[in-house]
Amino acid sequence: MPEYALLELEVSTLTPLHIGTGVDLLHEYDYIVAGGKTWRINHGALLEAQDVDDPKQLDFLSRTPPARLLKPTDFTPQSPFFRYIMAGAPRATGEGAVLREQIKDVYDRPYLPGSSLKGALRTALASTLWKQANRTLNLTDLGFSARFAAQRYERELLGRDPNRDLLRALQVSDSQPVGSDRLMVLNARIINQRGKLGSPIEMEAIRSDTTFHMTVKVDLALFSEWAKRAGLTLPAESALMNLPGIVNARSRSLAKREEAWFAAVPGAGAVASFYRQIASVNLPAGQMFLPLGWGTGWESKTLGASLMQDPHLRETLLRKYSMTRGRRNKGDPFPLSRRVAMRVQKTPNGALQETLFLPLGWVLVSFKVVKGPQSVWRG
C-alpha cells in the first residue's frame, strides 16, 4: 500500500470570499476612496517623500491623516504611494470608517489558507458522521464555553486525541497566491426574512471567478497494519476516502434550506436563484461545492439543523451559550437572519441604491489524484 496520496486542487470562488485577519483598516489612515476605487496606502513610501527633518513639518505629519498628504496626480496605478488598488468602494467614507482586512501574504497577494479549507471539510465530515451514527444531543456532555461546547462529541466522531484524529491524515497546503487585482471591496448586510437590513459591513474580499491552486496529501500510512499495531488506528477511514460525496450531499442539503429561506425574502430572488442552482447541479466526479469563510452562516460552521429539531433543546442551547442578539421571541426559528453581499450603485441623482446580490463564500473545488491510488477521494 502506498504511504500517501497527493491531490492537486483548484478552488474557484463562485461568490465573494472573505477570510479576515481580524484587523480593521481605517479610512484616510490605511486607505482612501477615489474615482470609484479603493486605494490602500503605502505608509513607508508616503513618509519617505516628506521632509521629516523640518520640526514643523514633522509636527504637521503627526496630526494629519496620511490620505491628506496625497495629491490628485498621485492617483495612478504606477504610484509608489499605494500598495494595491481595489475595484469598488465602501459606503462609509467618513474619517475613521473601517474596512475589514482580507488575509494576504507579505507581498499583498491574497491566498487561501489550508486551515480554512480543512476546517470547512472537517465540519462537513463531523456533521455527516453525527447523522450516520444517529446521535442525539445530551446537554450534560457539553462544555461551558461556546467555542468548545461540542469538543467531547467531536472527539468521539473524529478521534479521542490528536494522534488519533481522523483529519490528521489530511494535510492541506496553503494555496499559491493570486494577484492583488483579484481583491474587491465588498459591501455586506445582515438581513432578516422580512427583508429588513442591518448596518453595512464593509470588507476586502476575493472576487468571484478567482481560482486558487493548492495540494492535499492523504497520509495512507495511518490506515496501515503498522498503524494498527502501534495503536494509531483512525476512525471512519471510508468516510475520509469518500469525502467529496459527503461534502456535496451536505452542501446540496444546506442550499435547499437556504433557497427556501430566501424565497420568502422580498427582493432576494437573485440569492434564492443561486442556491437553487447549487441544490440542483449534479457535479461530475472530481468536484464538490463548499461554503467557506466569513458570512456563510451558522449552519455551515456547526453540526447544523440536526441540533435544533427539538424546540425545548433549541431554546436551552440558545440561552446557555448566548447565541442570539437583539429581539427574538421564544419559539422563533434560529438563526433569524443571514449575511449577504449587496450591489451598491449610484442613481442619476447621486443617491446610493442597494440590491441583494449574492450569498458569501461559496466555492467549487476541483481535484485530481497525481500520486497514489485513484480510489482516494472518490467523487
Cα–Cα dist 362/365, whole Å: 10
CA distances (Å), 3 to each of 6, 167, 221, 223, 229, in order? Answer: 10, 16, 5, 9, 16
Q: What is the enclosing helix (H) or strand (E) of 37?
A: strand 37-41
Q: Give the residue extent of every domain in the chain.
A: 4-19+103-371, 25-101
**328-361 pLDDT per residue, tens:** 677 667 778 899 999 988 778 877 788 999 999 9
CA distances (Å), 88 to each of 31, 35, 116, 342, in order? Answer: 13, 9, 26, 12
pLDDT at 125 over 90: no
Give the ranges where the chain is alpha helix by DSSP (H).
Answer: 43-48, 55-63, 114-132, 151-158, 225-229, 237-241, 243-263, 269-280, 298-301, 311-320
All residues at 6 or more sequence positions from 143 whose CB lies less than 8 Å from its CB, including other chains:
149, 150, 151, 152
Cα–Cα dist 175/331, whole Å: 43
* Proportion of the chain in helix, strand, coil states, percent, rounded to 5: 35, 25, 40
Beta bridge partners of 41: 82
C-alpha cell of residue 114: 489550508
By the 10 Å C-beta count (0-12 exposed, 13-18 middle, 19+ buried), 113 is classed as middle
- Yes or no: say if 86 and 156 are a contact pair by the CB < 8 Å rule: no
**202-242 pLDDT per residue, tens:** 999 999 999 999 999 998 887 766 556 555 555 567 888 88
Grid-cell match 446580490, residue found? 357
**31-88 pLDDT per residue, tens:** 999 999 999 999 999 988 887 777 877 778 888 899 999 999 999 999 999 999 999 9
pLDDT-derived band at 374, boundaries 50, 70, 90: confident
Cα–Cα dist 9/86, whole Å: 26
Model pTM? 0.89
- Yes or no: say if 170 and 240 are a contact pair by the CB < 8 Å rule: yes
Q: Which of 186-200, 206-220, 304-318 has the lowest mean pLDDT?
A: 304-318
pLDDT at 288 over 80: yes
Most confident of 134-143, 170-179, 188-197, 306-315: 170-179
At residue 379, the pLDDT reads: 58
**231-285 pLDDT per residue, tens:** 555 556 788 888 999 999 999 999 999 999 999 999 999 999 999 999 999 999 9
C-alpha cell of residue 228: 494498527
Q: What is the enclosing helix (H) or strand (E) of 340?
A: strand 337-346
pLDDT at 142 over 90: no
SS3 label, residue 112: coil
CA distances (Å), 207 to each of 14, 79, 318, in order? Answer: 9, 23, 34
Q: Cβ–Cβ contacts within 10 Å for residue 356, how many?
A: 23
In our burial notation (b when 16+ CB lie closer than 10 A, e otherwise), range 258-291 reads bbebbeebeebeebbebbbebbeeebeeebbbbb
